[in-house]
Amino acid sequence: MKAGLRRGALLLVFAAGGVLAWRFIRKPDDTKLEFVTVSIGRRDITATVNATGTIEPIVKVMVGSQVSGRIQTLSANYNDPVKKDQILAQIEPSSFKARADQAEAQLGKARATVLDADRAFRRSQELAAAKIGSQADLDAARTKLQLAQADSKQAFANLSQARVDLANTRILSPIDGVVISRSVEEGQTVAASLSAPTLFTIADDLARLQIVANVDEADVGQVAEGQDVSFTVDAFPQSTFKGTVQLIRNSPENVQGVVTYQTIIQVANPEQRLRPGMTANVTIVVAKKKNVLAISNAALRFRPPKSLVGGNPKAEDKASAEKKKGKRQKSRVTVWSLKKGSPQPEKVRIGITDGAYTEVKEGLDEKDVVVVSAQSAGSPGPG
């Protein structure tokens, strides 16, 4: 009796374990799915390329000093409008004026020596002609005159250089524009021994600026001169500014293995709200099409469960072939239409995209229905 009870209890335990194991091991029925679909329709599509860049003046001139000395006066400050040849600063000129005066005196002395040597040469010529002077004396007088003339030329060159240095103590604006940077103070000493130190930076016209944008190498092939550009800056997050692509530079920029190409964008700045150095978030319009067949990008990303595709060998073979072909031609993709409750692959040739919708060139017609997602039957839908 007891042995029978033990056998019955064991049978109940095994039965309960089998039920639990079956519940955990069994696979969900993938065929019981609800598919979310959308219709193919017409819309405008604008393809864009995004980049970041820096706002800069179109012409920016660094003004330096070609002579060393102490800054005596400053005549320009930040944001000051300046005219060409206007004095920006004056370097203490006294030592340069003294050098110029000294060079001028040396030139006068050299010229007097030339006159004296010339008179001596003429007398030697007369004596030689009268057979009184020797040929050696004539040659010596000629050499002395030539040396005096050379010294006179050297003295003139020294005077010219001294006058140039004196003139360079006045720092002049090379263009009409606005002072955007000043890196010197009155009383400061500047040294121009090896290279000219930069004292001022002048922009020609802040009403016209440019953006130097770094476009990724994967996108630069779509960018062309004349394309429209919109951009924002952090200083005015609610405002959108306009520009035009002017130039794509051929020289690459390689930063930590990331290759970009500098794209120059012209910008009108009549209100002068934009300032040099601001970071611009750029959107370049590379293509625009109106009223074209369009498919949701969610439909391009959708792939049905393998169990459903596996139940239809023709659909699996077609999808696999399209996937392999798509590696060779990215403009052809596979999307899934819903026929008799089951997703079926459709070959589609696509065009431009705006990130949310993609142009359909062939393979689908208006009002065709495609699958964008799937969920288990009875589960709550999105939202």
- Write the DSSP assignment of 267-322 as a string of letters: EE-TT--S-TT-EEEEEEEEEEEEEEEEEEHHHHH----HHHHHT-HHHHHHHHHH
Q: Are residues 352 and 249 in the same domain?
A: no
Q: Are residues 84 and 190 in the same domain?
A: yes
CATH number, domain with residue 137 = 1.10.287.470
Q: Are residues 200 and 251 in the same domain?
A: no
Tell me which of 168, 192, 223 is where a domain ends: 168
d(CA 85, CA 227): 38
Q: Are residues 149 and 214 in the same domain?
A: no
Query: What pairs with residue 383 in β-bridges?
Result: none
Q: Are residues 81 and 183 in the same domain?
A: yes
Tokens for 196?
Answer: 């000219």
pLDDT: which is higher, 316 or 368: 368
CATH number, domain with residue 256 = 2.40.30.170
pLDDT digits (tens, 9 = 90+) for 208-254: 999 999 999 999 999 999 999 999 999 999 999 999 999 999 999 99
Tally of structural domains, the chain: 4
Tell me which of 288, 308, 330 is where a domain ends: 288
pTM of the model: 0.71
pLDDT digits (tens, 9 = 90+) for 12-55: 545 555 544 444 444 445 457 788 889 899 999 999 999 999 99
* Structure confidence at residue 309 as a pLDDT band (50, 70, 90): low
pLDDT digits (tens, 9 = 90+) for 71-129: 999 999 999 999 999 999 999 999 999 999 999 999 999 999 999 999 988 998 888 78
Q: Are residues 158 and 274 in the same domain?
A: no
Q: The domain containing residue 71 runs over which residues? A: 64-91+170-204
Residues 6+ apart with CB under 8 A from 32: 376, 377
d(CA 316, CA 295): 22
Q: How many CA atoms lie within 13 A of 254 on its CB side?
A: 3
For residue 188, give Cα distances in angstroms to 173, 195, 229, 267.
Answer: 19, 17, 45, 37
Q: Are residues 133 and 148 in the same domain?
A: yes
